[in-house]
Amino acid sequence: PHRPLPGTRGPLKRGFELRPPAALSSDGHPMPKQANIVASMARKREKKNRSGPHTAVTGTKGKAGRRNKERKGRALGLSRNEGRGDFAISCASIVLLSVAIALGAEAYRYRTKSLLLTRELNKAKEELEEYTKLYVRTGNPTWMPTQKIRSEKLRRKMEGDPKRGGYRANETVVNGGLDPKRWHSYLIDHTPLAFHATAETTATGIPVDKDGNHVQCFESLDHVAMTPKDWDQDPDRERTFLGGGLKPQARRKAAVALKECGFLALDSLISPKLIDNLRDAYERFRETERAKRYFRYPCQGKGRVEFMLPFEPPFNNTDAPYHNPVLRQILLDFLGGPYKLELMTVINSSPGSGDQRWHQGWRYLFHPDEQLPPYSIVVGIPLDDVSLDMGPTQFCPRRKLRFYHGFRCDEGEVVSLGSTKGSVLLFDYKLLHRGPANHSPRFRPMISMVFSKMFFVNSEAYVNRGISLLQTLHQRRYWEEFVWHPE
């Protein structure tokens, strides 16, 4: 155990690492490290010279390896050529698979495009059917002749008798031409008395009509509500009686209420049976895909949905609300001449809906403080009995003198009227109003009709709100109901 190992200088001691012996020279002595490296390189060169320069690639060992591979391939039933054929088949399969995938993707694209085109074609067919339903109008309503007579009577009252021979282009007021006093008188008759405040009106704060009667807008409904005893709707009287069934005193009452307070309530003007028919038709219509696609109308306030009513039965039947003679006479007196039905929608306030902001139908025509006769009016017809907790329309009486931007009506000024089925509410387009929250568990649908003079159109209702072209065409058909067409 103590005999020294070759290449060591002493016996093996515990704790020392056993190293491999260093290279020995020819005489058996250890060689230095550099000499050891040189000897190793010399042996490698000698081996390379014996084997030849291509031994590593084509030597015996490489041929033996290839023979072993061929032997293994034959054992598996494959030769070198068979392996190459299998590789070619695999490449062809990959190419065919790639072509199949490309063709499938192209077919999928064409199929998707075909489905989209088919869908667009069906949509175009549906729209074409919608347009073809609006047939060319062929006649006038039965009440149009009497409506023309009433309009002509009002026109002559305003214009007076025309001058024989006409007027010269440079004719002035001094030499008997136009008379501005008539315009001033017309403004007094058709604009609120607040524009013409006197000591008597400012002392009490309550307007006084021509007969000296105070016009109450808050304290009592006597000045702003009418009942069936104020009119006669006998259809035979429509042809002869130019008051449209309204008694003369009732016509004055309606005119004063709309001019001074800005609103008017007509109790039980429409039959409950007609209201039920209209509501049933509306509820069937609003559930159709056609209504959602073409007739949805933007509406202000949370929890409210609005649809325009198409020009078709039963909404345009001869017994439709806008044909009512009492209503038409009140509108003619208020607007002072020919007018049209500009828009007819249904606003449905759902349970839990919120308050609308206070607003007016239109800003102004020329100036916020302008003093002009009325040019538009809203007619609301609830399709059910409406209690106060259902949120009937609220008005701010007398707030129609100017454009009240951002104005909030004080609590003591607010008027809200519950109504029974068949009642009608009218209010000036310039009157400050809103739809309050619906705190009941029932829906509150209401027909909203906007009537206006021929020159006025609410452009925001057609452009900014982005309604469909089909809606505009249906609106035009409602307009045509109030315009005389030669037979």
CA distances from 318 to 167, 239, 314, 361 (A): 43, 15, 9, 28
Residue range 201-230: mean pLDDT, rounded: 70
Q: In the predicted model, is pLDDT for residue 59 greater than 50?
A: no
Q: Tell me what pLDDT residue 65 has.
A: 66
pLDDT grade for 402, boundaries at 50, 70 and 90: confident
Residues 6+ apart with CB under 8 A from 310: 285, 295, 474
Angle at 152 between CA 147 and CA 154, to 5 degrees: 100
Task: Determine what percent of the chain is predicted with pLDDT higher than 70.
Answer: 71
Report the distance separating Cα 445 and Cα 442, nearest Å: 10
Handedness of CA 385, 390, 393, 396 (dihedral sign): positive
Torsion of CA 174, 176, 177, 183, to 10 degrees: 80
- What is the pTM (predicted TM-score) of this model? 0.72
pLDDT grade for 390, boundaries at 50, 70 and 90: very high
On the CB side of 141, CA atoms within 13 Å amount to: 24
Helix 80-132 / helix 469-480 crossing angle, nearest 10 deg = 10
Report the distance separating Cα 235 and Cα 335, nearest Å: 24
Residue 314: cis peptide before it, omega within 30 degrees of 0: yes
Task: Spell out the SS3 assignment of 93-127.
Answer: HHHHHHHHHHHHHHHHHHHHHHHHHHHHHHHHHHH
Rounded mean pLDDT of the chain? 79
Q: Are 307 and 223 in contact (CB under 8 A)?
A: no
- 3-class secondary structure, 428: strand
Residue range 12-20: mean pLDDT, rounded: 49
Cα-Cα end-to-end distance for the chain: 140
Residue range 209-215: mean pLDDT, rounded: 60
Angle at 133 between CA 132 and CA 139, to 5 degrees: 110
pLDDT (tens digit, 9 = 90+) per residue, 40-53? 777 777 776 665 55
Q: In the predicted model, is pLDDT for residue 242 greater than 50?
A: no
Instruction: Quote the tokens at residue 140.
Output: 């006038």
Report the distance separating Cα 336 and Cα 155, nearest Å: 8
